[in-house]
Amino acid sequence: MELSLRCIAFLALGLLLLLATAVLPSATLCKLQVWPTKLSLPKASLAALQDDASSLCDQHWTWSGISSFWHEKSSGTGRMKWSIQRSGAPAAGGTVTAESSLGFPCSYGNFAPKSAVVVVQSPDRFSPNLWHRMAAVFEAWVVPRVLQLKEKLPGEISISYHVPRLKNITVDTDPGPFPWHLLGPVASKDCGYEHHILAPSDGFLWDLAWDLPLKCAHASGLWRSFQSALYTGVGLDPETDFGGGRVCYVGRPGKSTRQLSDKSFHALKEAAERMTLDGHTLVFRSLGFNASVPIQQQAKMVSGCDILVGMHGAGMMHSIWMYPGSVVVEIMDQEHERSAYYRNVAHLSGHVYLRHNQRELGETPEVLWHLMISATEIISNKGNHSQHASFRKSQ
């Protein structure tokens, strides 16, 4: 038996109105409170109302903002330094600095024409953690493009990446999760190029972290360009959505606190498999990736997901492989309740983001039922589709 979600919504709205009528004076329901055009507030209150999260989206996550917000400092040696103030969130203070200069020849004295090499300095350049790795990849990818926008690099130029050894790890022994050659040509040396660029050692992507939910209301063109570069690297078509009503749970393999309990996992699976789109039951998949699964295969699997559910952790970074209009559901443990990493990534990617507290979920796993109803209704209008969302009652 199927019950329309819209009927449920109308019933819920009617119940809320009845409750409001019982609690509030009747005049409250029909009187519209209009705020004065000018508010007379103490200075402290005005300061508290100021929210820079929206302007940070414009400054850091649009092409025009990021190119104009960088500050240039030149030296007599022809070396240029570029810096940008970070967001000011607890984990994102100070400045991000990059350098650009004319290249220098190798021993044989030749330059590759119209070329630039980006030296990757990030300590996370070989991190096995997808979030940390993507922070390093993004910094290396975005800097030469900012320099092009500022007309410090030619528009037509070949860009290579030099990734120095870190302890005993090199590009040849890199365990992943995103091998550098998928971003572009990898240079064994940083000489022999017309332009020499030092990427920041720690920068932009970390501004999505911790307790600063950025007010990025729509998909960012800059971020989508980065995603397109990643899609090209792993062999995905950035314009094609392979989704078809799939719910994917991503968790760390093995025993981990970043996993749903067995009770919550089975409740999620049961709820997902009772949801339908145009009468077709949603497909539930449990994804447990490790280093043995190539990133190309991981990306292809996640690109077919319409709803991604998981505990807070690097696995949620896989939402970058999903197509706009998907739903990301993040379950937060107590330690990371204020974290905004994957919320911001979801919004920049054009997804709808939902979150819930792990502790409450353990006490009332039926919450997953309501999350699945909401998520299914959202993806019913994903892309060019307009499907009827409903759910099957238990037998």
Spell out the per-residue pLDDT of the chain, length 395, in tens: 444 444 444 444 444 334 333 333 333 222 222 222 222 222 322 232 234 456 677 777 888 877 777 777 776 666 788 777 776 666 666 778 888 888 988 887 788 889 999 999 999 999 998 988 998 999 999 999 988 888 888 889 999 999 999 989 999 999 888 999 999 999 999 999 999 999 988 766 776 665 677 777 666 788 889 999 999 999 998 776 655 688 999 986 555 667 788 888 888 998 899 888 888 888 899 988 877 889 999 999 999 899 999 988 888 999 999 988 899 999 888 777 778 889 989 988 889 999 888 877 767 777 888 888 888 888 887 876 677 877 776 64
> What is the pTM for the complete model shown?
0.79
| H-helix segments, the chain | 5-23, 26-30, 43-49, 53-60, 63-69, 130-149, 221-234, 262-272, 295-303, 341-348, 358-363, 367-379
Residue ranges, comma separated, of all CATH 3.40.50.360 domains in the chain are 242-384
Backbone angles phi, psi at 390, to 5 degrees: -155, 175
Could you name the CATH architecture of 242-384? 3-Layer(aba) Sandwich (3.40)
Q: How many CA atoms lie within 13 A of 18 on its CB side?
A: 6
Rounded distance between C-alpha atoms, residue 141 and residue 159, angstroms: 9
Which three-class secondary structure state does DSSP give residue 169? Answer: strand
In angstroms, what CA-CA distances link 13 with 6, 305, 368, 392?
Answer: 10, 31, 20, 21
C-alpha span between 259 and 265 (Å, rounded): 9
Dihedral angle at the C-alpha atoms of 229, 233, 236, 238, nearest 10 degrees?
10
